[in-house]
Amino acid sequence: MTTVTRADVLGFRVRAQQLERASGTLADTAVLDLGVQDTGPDGAAWALAVRGVEVPVGSPDLALAWTLRGAPHLYRRADLPGVAAATAPFSEADAGKRIYDAAKPLRAAGIPIVTALDTVAEAMRTAVDRPTVKGDMSGRLAELLPEPYQRYCRPCAAVHPHEQSFRIAALRAGLELQPGTSPPVLLPIPDFRPAERAPAHLDVVRGYLRLFGPATPKLAAAYLDAPVRDVTDHWPEDVVEVTVDGEKRWVLADDADRLAAGPAPTTRLLAPFDPYLQLRDRSLLVADPAQAKALWPVLGRPGAVLVDGEVAGTWRPRKSGKKLTVELQLWRGVDREALEDQAERLAAVRGVELAGVRAG
């Protein structure tokens, strides 16, 4: 069994996620296969920009949809039918896990969870035949769906469908999200039909291994919010076993030779929900508990200063009118000029002027 170091793993992930490259295209951007979470002002557009692709999230070649973990993710528009198949629950148990507390009343009523998701999807197709604000859609669903699908919402003092149920059902209903809307606006996807099977490049288990390997079924399951058993049942056969810090892990056979490439020199300002920070073995990336807590707080995540695969500190944007200041909390010395270049690029993507880069 091959032993690989932590540095090998980080270097592999930087290259697999193409954080070291200067330019690329939507077609060859690997993170779009698994989806790029679009959360916060520096979401998917900035994640693409730090990988050399400056394309607005609203490009006709891209589409935004609720998928993994019920979060909004960006994909190539042409991939959407396959994405619907790839991100669908693996099993009844998986479907129940993904919709959280919504599963209990459905099971009590004798309604299989997968059947319930199809029912919600059908109701959503009826409710959303034009651009529709999420709240309006929710109100319409409350009229269309029976009691086991509903819950009483104390903050709103109203009855709503369970949140995760319609998020997980939205793409199977043929609905995408309009970029840049808050509250979210849903749109029907013209002539949409989910694929019967996901193409290999969109397979979510393979995708996790390709971008976050070497990994284990437990780590992939945590990322997908799926039961470990389902992920194990879908574990690829073409994997190679390696050891990382004494732990048995696996990597796709085609990627095994890339584990010995060493560090990947690069300096990036990563947004709080950048794919590189969505790993489920956080202690491998940030071993110090205090630093990990600073990078991944319960609320209000900062971005990460990434230097050669290592997190060298955190950053936060401070916007005033048309000017942006980037505030840094550095854990070690970094190339200040490289950070200022990143900050200038961030301001350009946001369409504002950089006021400065300030270390706290």
State the pLDDT at residue 338: 94
Cα dihedral: 145, 146, 147, 151 (round 10) = 0
Buried b (16+ CB within 10 A) or exposed e, 81-95: bbbbbbbbbbbeebb
CA atoms within 13 A on the CB side of 114: 7
Cα–Cα distances (Å) from 191 to 63, 80, 177, 238, 272, in that order, read: 15, 12, 16, 36, 35
The backbone torsions φ and ψ at residue 70, rounded to the nearest 5 degrees and listed phi first, read 70, 15
Dihedral sign for Cα 326, 267, 250, 245, please: negative
Q: Is 61 exposed, middle or buried (0-12, 13-18, 19+ CB in 10 A)?
A: exposed
State the pLDDT at residue 196: 93
Nearest of 172, 211, 198 to residue 34 by alpha carbon:
211
Domain boundaries, the chain: 31-188, 267-359
State the pLDDT at residue 154: 75
Beta bridge partners of 65: 73
pLDDT truncated to tens, each residue of the chain (360 aa)?
Answer: 788 899 999 999 999 999 999 999 999 999 999 999 999 999 999 999 999 999 999 999 999 999 999 999 999 999 999 999 999 999 999 999 999 999 999 999 999 999 999 999 999 999 999 999 999 999 999 999 998 998 877 777 677 889 999 999 999 999 999 999 999 999 999 999 999 999 999 999 999 999 999 999 999 999 999 999 999 999 999 999 999 988 999 999 999 999 977 788 999 999 999 999 999 999 999 999 999 999 999 999 999 999 999 999 999 999 989 999 999 999 999 999 999 999 999 999 999 999 999 987
Measured distance CA(139)–CA(133) in Å, rounded: 10
State the pLDDT at residue 45: 96
